[in-house]
């Protein structure tokens, strides 16, 4: 891409008018094999001819050769002048990409000068426009935006006629129309404004604003101002969609963090201040899995989901059996005990993994963005997290509605004394419920590891939000947790541009406090639950 940007300002004059004619002449004077041999010599005139010949040949290695030349990574073997590219500590054949045996002393770097670098920049841009990959051609055309002079427009239009891909053709139209905004003819400028009024691109909006303010023709200024208003409305609309998307993705994390706490708090009434550390353990489980499978980040991530559930769930059961079961009915002691456990777990991971944050590699199928237009692009990792959150929620709902554990959990939640009389072992239901809630928090940690670095304090940033989600949605009600989590996530992202991240959270907290004054049991209060003293 650096080569494309360096050469795009000159490609129209050099690459489109004269280069094609020169290529055919040069190709007749020198074969590609001779051109490769010439690159190993000291004659820079011959090297210039060789580079032109290789560009005209259409060889698949031409682009790699130019990139290697520009980066100083093109070498030749001294014994037979075989062209190779250095990749770290090894050398690979330019043409077949196979490793070439030999020490570094057996190879010599191909010498370059500034004139050859300028030539390579121009030819690299030309190669990008003729690349078989439509996406690369699209990026090459877009890189010309604002860099095409009036005198070069005809050559660019001629080159456009060879294009067949619809997206690339639209990019040509945008670049050509953009260049017409500075044309001396007002009629041409007016037609360019009309053409660009449908183009969703921030650079286009900025240029149209300049035209609306500075153009000498009243009609052009008026048309540009109208186009700017139209495009800014579209920009605001797509910005709203993007904000909603980020809000839903944040809400999905809050839902994952909150549903585990909802069933724990709903059944047991335990204020678990170590819930965030269960998320942290899930994130560190993901980190460990990627250390075990360093070359398979996708498989490691998928295996991390059940592994994190088991690790966090088992730790949760141990905490319930060893500490919490002795503190039922004593909320202050429970809060202090779980807070102490959270500090213990944080110090444990500091001792095992170090206090520094650890990075987790994102799989290739989760990286990148989904681009609708230049006003709207959505990151794929957040899209996967939203779907994953809904899938976990659906699975948990099925578990609570269709399994024996779910039946016992609902029975204890609604009337503990009656459930005991019916033979339900409420103490083991508590342990399994605490383990289930902790396991779900571990799964939330897996999702968080794809959005942020993994560190000992990872869970601390979400514990308060988790309690807010549970209280706002209704204690023990999963549907309430889903609605509350998504609502708080969206509200947070809507307020952040105006109030900032910290003040937005404060405003939401105040709003929840006021809401609870009116509805103490939340949005969806649980019905039929006996009040236990």
For residue range 201-227, list pLDDT tens digits in order: 888 888 889 888 888 888 888 998 999
Mean pLDDT of 376-386: 90
326 and 217, same structural domain?
no
Q: How buried is residue 216: exposed, middle or buried, by Cβ count under 10 Å (0-12/13-18/19+)? A: exposed
Asked if residue 313 belongs to a domain, the reply is: yes
Q: What are phi and psi of 84, to 5 degrees?
A: -135, 160
* C-alpha span between 216 and 309 (Å, rounded): 67
pLDDT in tens, 88-112: 878 888 888 888 888 878 888 888 8
Q: Indicate the SS3 state at residue 376.
A: strand
284 and 228, same structural domain?
no
Asked if residue 141 belongs to a domain, the reply is: no
247 and 112, same structural domain?
no
Q: Angle at the Cα of 136 (from 154 to 182), degrees rounded to 5?
A: 35
331 and 399, same structural domain?
yes
337 and 475, same structural domain?
yes
Asked if residue 138 belongs to a domain, the reply is: no
Residue of 56, 43, 50, 71 whose CA lies nearest to 15: 56
pLDDT in tens, 107-118: 888 888 888 887
Q: Residue 266's pLDDT is what?
A: 67
Mean pLDDT of 248-256: 91
Mean pLDDT of 341-363: 90
Answer whether residue 20 shows pLDDT above 80.
no
Q: Indicate the SS3 state at residue 90.
A: strand
Residue, of 524 and 299, whose pLDDT is higher = 299
397 and 314, same structural domain?
yes
Q: Indicate the SS3 state at residue 85.
A: strand
Confidence of residue 525 (pLDDT cuts 50, 70, 90): confident
Asked if residue 86 belongs to a domain, the reply is: yes
Asked if 530 and 415 count as a contact pair (C-beta separation under 8 A), the reply is: yes
Mean pLDDT of 8-22: 46
Q: Is the dihedral of CA 24, 28, 29, 32 positive or negative?
A: positive
Residues 6+ apart with CB under 8 A from 206: none
Q: Domain with 162 in it: what CATH number?
A: 1.25.10
**Widest distance between CA atoms in the chain:** 98
Which of 236, 265, 284 is the last residue in one of the domains? 236
Asked if residue 209 belongs to a domain, the reply is: yes
224 and 251, same structural domain?
no
Neighbours of 152 (CB within 10 A): 21
Asked if residue 232 belongs to a domain, the reply is: yes
* Two structure tokens written together for 459: 């869970």
Confidence of residue 19 (pLDDT cuts 50, 70, 90): very low
Asked if 445 and 312 count as a contact pair (C-beta separation under 8 A), the reply is: yes
Domain that holds residue 254: 239-368+391-518
Asked if residue 374 belongs to a domain, the reply is: no
Query: Does the pTM of the predicted model rise above 0.75?
Result: no
472 and 328, same structural domain?
yes
Asked if 316 and 343 count as a contact pair (C-beta separation under 8 A), the reply is: no
Which of 236, 254, 274 is the last residue in one of the domains? 236
CA distance from start to end of the chain: 69
Asked if 453 and 500 count as a contact pair (C-beta separation under 8 A), the reply is: no
Which of 95, 130, 165 is the last residue in one of the domains? 130
Confidence of residue 278 (pLDDT cuts 50, 70, 90): very high
Q: How buried is residue 28: exposed, middle or buried, by Cβ count under 10 Å (0-12/13-18/19+)? A: exposed
Asked if residue 104 belongs to a domain, the reply is: yes
Answer whether residue 159 shows pLDDT above 60.
yes
230 and 259, same structural domain?
no
Number of domains into which the chain is organized: 3
Mean pLDDT of 459-465: 85
280 and 179, same structural domain?
no
Q: Residue 510's pLDDT is what?
A: 92
258 and 208, same structural domain?
no
Residues 6+ apart with CB under 8 A from 355: 455, 456
Answer whether residue 347 shows pLDDT above 60.
yes
411 and 272, same structural domain?
yes
Mean pLDDT of 403-413: 81
């Amino acid at each position: 891409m650096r080569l494309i940007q360096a050469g795009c300002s000159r490609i129209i004059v050099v690459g489109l008018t004269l280069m094609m004619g020169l290529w055919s002449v040069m190709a007749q004077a020198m074969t590609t094999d001779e051109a490769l041999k010439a690159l190993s010599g000291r004659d820079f005139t011959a090297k210039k001819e060789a580079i032109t010949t290789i560009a005209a040949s259409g060889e698949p290695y031409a682009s790699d050769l130019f990139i290697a030349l520009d980066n100083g990574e093109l070498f030749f073997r001294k014994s037979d002048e075989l062209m190779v590219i250095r990749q770290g500590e090894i050398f690979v054949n330019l043409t077949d990409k196979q490793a070439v045996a030999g020490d570094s002393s057996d190879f010599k770097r191909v010498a370059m000068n500034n004139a050859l670098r300028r030539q390579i920049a121009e030819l690299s841009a030309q190669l990008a426009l003729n690349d078989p990959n439509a996406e690369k051609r699209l990026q090459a055309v877009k890189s010309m935006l604002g860099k095409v002079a009036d005198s070069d427009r005809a050559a660019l239009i001629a080159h456009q006629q060879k294009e067949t891909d619809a997206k690339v053709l639209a990019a040509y139209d945008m670049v050509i129309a953009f260049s017409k905004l500075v044309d001396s003819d007002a009629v041409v400028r007016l037609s360019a404004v009309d053409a660009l009024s449908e183009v969703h691109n921030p650079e286009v909006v900025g240029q149209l604003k300049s035209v609306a303010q500075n153009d000498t023709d009243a009609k052009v200024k008026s048309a540009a101002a109208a186009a700017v208003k139209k495009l800014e409305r579209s920009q605001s609309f797509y910005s709203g969609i993007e904000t909603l998307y980020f809000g839903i993705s944040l809400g999905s994390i809050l839902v994952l963090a909150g549903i585990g706490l909802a069933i724990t708090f709903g059944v047991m009434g335990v204020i678990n201040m170590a819930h965030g550390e269960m998320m942290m353990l899930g994130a560190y489980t993901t980190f460990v899995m990627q250390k075990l499978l360093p070359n398979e980040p996708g498989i490691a991530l998928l295996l991390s989901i059940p592994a994190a559930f088991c690790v966090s769930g088992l730790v949760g059961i141990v905490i319930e059996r060893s500490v919490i079961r002795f503190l039922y009915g004593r909320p202050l002691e429970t809060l202090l005990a779980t807070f102490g456990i959270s500090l213990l777990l944080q110090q444990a991971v500091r001792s095992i993994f170090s206090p520094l944050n650890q990075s987790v590699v994102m799989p290739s199928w989760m990286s990148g963005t989904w681009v609708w237009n230049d006003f709207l692009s959505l990151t794929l990792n957040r899209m996967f997290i939203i779907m994953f959150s809904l899938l976990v929620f659906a699975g948990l709902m099925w578990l609570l509605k269709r399994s024996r554990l779910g039946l016992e959990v609902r029975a204890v939640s609604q009337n503990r004394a009656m459930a005991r009389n019916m033979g339900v072992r409420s103490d083991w239901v508590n342990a399994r419920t605490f383990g289930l809630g902790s396991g779900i928090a571990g799964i939330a940690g897996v999702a968080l590891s794809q959005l942020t670095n993994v560190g000992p304090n990872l869970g601390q940033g979400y514990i308060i939000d988790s309690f807010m989600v549970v209280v706002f949605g209704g204690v023990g009600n999963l549907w309430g947790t889903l609605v509350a989590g998504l609502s708080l996530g969206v509200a947070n992202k809507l307020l952040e541009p105006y109030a900032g991240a910290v003040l937005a959270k404060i405003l939401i907290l105040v709003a929840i406090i006021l809401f609870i004054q009116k509805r103490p049991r939340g949005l969806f209060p649980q019905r039929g639950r006996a009040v236990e003293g």
